[in-house]
Amino acid sequence: MNRPRGMEPMHLVFAALGGAVLLFIIAPLAGMVLSTGRSELSRTAADPAVTASVRLTLLTSMGATLILAVASVPFAWLLARRNFPLKALVNGIVDVPIVIPHSAAGIALLGVIAPGTLVGGTAERLGIEFVGGPAGIMAGMAFVSVPFLVNAARDGFAAVPLRLEQTALALGASPLRVFFTISLPLAWRSVLSGLILMWARGMSEFGAVLIIAYHPMITPVLIYERFGAFGLRYARPVSVIFIGVCLALFVVLRLVAGGRRHAGG
């Protein structure tokens, strides 16, 4: 029996609930933008401290994403393609940074990268400063955001037909060549999506970075400082500018990814 094309009562209820969720997301952002005058935005955009913090946030989040991708993407393939003892536990460990408080994550990281530790002391001798330095900022960002990349890439590799990889291996291709010529090209959309999500999540990180490297200030920390020291009026323009930059970059990356998807058929 064919159902009428008009929306059923259930659909209307679901649409109303969806509208409430969208309003919950959009209303605070719209209110913040509308409450900020152009003169405030202009002064804030010209503030060297703001521009330096935005630049530092973008560079460190991108650096953390690219560095961790070198290990995370092959690891995701392993999780998708191989069964091994305690695999379920490993998958659970990957998600741990999502569920623990990020301030606690920062404290946990300090126990590994502080100057008196093996890793921190070795890095210090090599001229790398984690505590109070960009390397520490990247460590905090990477810790809380890497699950997004691993999970997205793992799902992408799992969706690649196994028979294609097996056929290539049977024809004499090496496992490494199969990975780079079949597995990765076919899973690139999920990998790219994971990279974007990891980058975006790292850019918004606050708690872990606050513990490890209060200075130099990334933008979320700068917003927190200005709110605590001067109040909402001084923190709001920085928030609007940072959100605008993040949204613009996020939309551009999504459009690039969508364009490549259509070009690939």
Query: Across residues 64-87, what is the average pLDDT?
Result: 96
Residue 66 included in any domain: yes
- By residue count, the chain amounts to 265
pLDDT of residue 1: 47
Binned at pLDDT 50, 70 and 90, residue 253 comes out as confident
pLDDT of residue 251: 84
Q: What is the mean pLDDT of the chain?
A: 92
Query: Across residues 134-141, what is the average pLDDT?
Result: 96
Q: Which amino acid is at 252?
A: V
CATH number at residue 190: 1.10.3720.10
CB pairs under 8 A, 24+ apart, for 51-54?
52/216, 53/216, 53/217, 53/218, 53/219, 53/221, 53/222, 54/219, 54/241, 54/242, 54/245
pLDDT of residue 262: 53
Q: Among residues 89, 67, 85, which one has the least CA distance to residue 146?
A: 67
Token pair, residue 113, equals 């990268």
Whole-prediction pTM: 0.89
- In this predicted structure, the answer to whether residue 263 has a pLDDT above a threshold of 90 is no
- In this predicted structure, the answer to whether residue 101 has a pLDDT above a threshold of 60 is yes
Binned at pLDDT 50, 70 and 90, residue 259 comes out as low
- In this predicted structure, the answer to whether residue 212 has a pLDDT above a threshold of 70 is yes
- Count how many domains the chain has: 1
| Rounded percentage of the chain residues whose pLDDT exceeds 90 | 87
Binned at pLDDT 50, 70 and 90, residue 256 comes out as confident
**pLDDT tens column, 169-192:** 999 999 999 999 999 999 999 999
pLDDT of residue 6: 58
Residue 11 included in any domain: no
Q: Which domain holds residue 226?
A: 38-263
Residue 152 included in any domain: yes
Residue 9 included in any domain: no
Residue 26 included in any domain: no
**pLDDT tens column, 17-72:** 999 999 999 999 999 999 999 999 999 999 999 999 999 999 999 999 999 999 99
Residue 108 included in any domain: yes
End-to-end CA distance of the chain: 36
Q: Among residues 159, 258, 153, 260, which one has the least CA distance to residue 198?
A: 153
Q: Tokens 């999920």 label which residue?
A: 190
Residue 146 included in any domain: yes
Q: What is the DSSP string of 65-110?
A: HHHHHHHHHHHHHHHHH---TTHHHHHHHHTHHHHS-HHHHHHHHH
Residue 99 included in any domain: yes
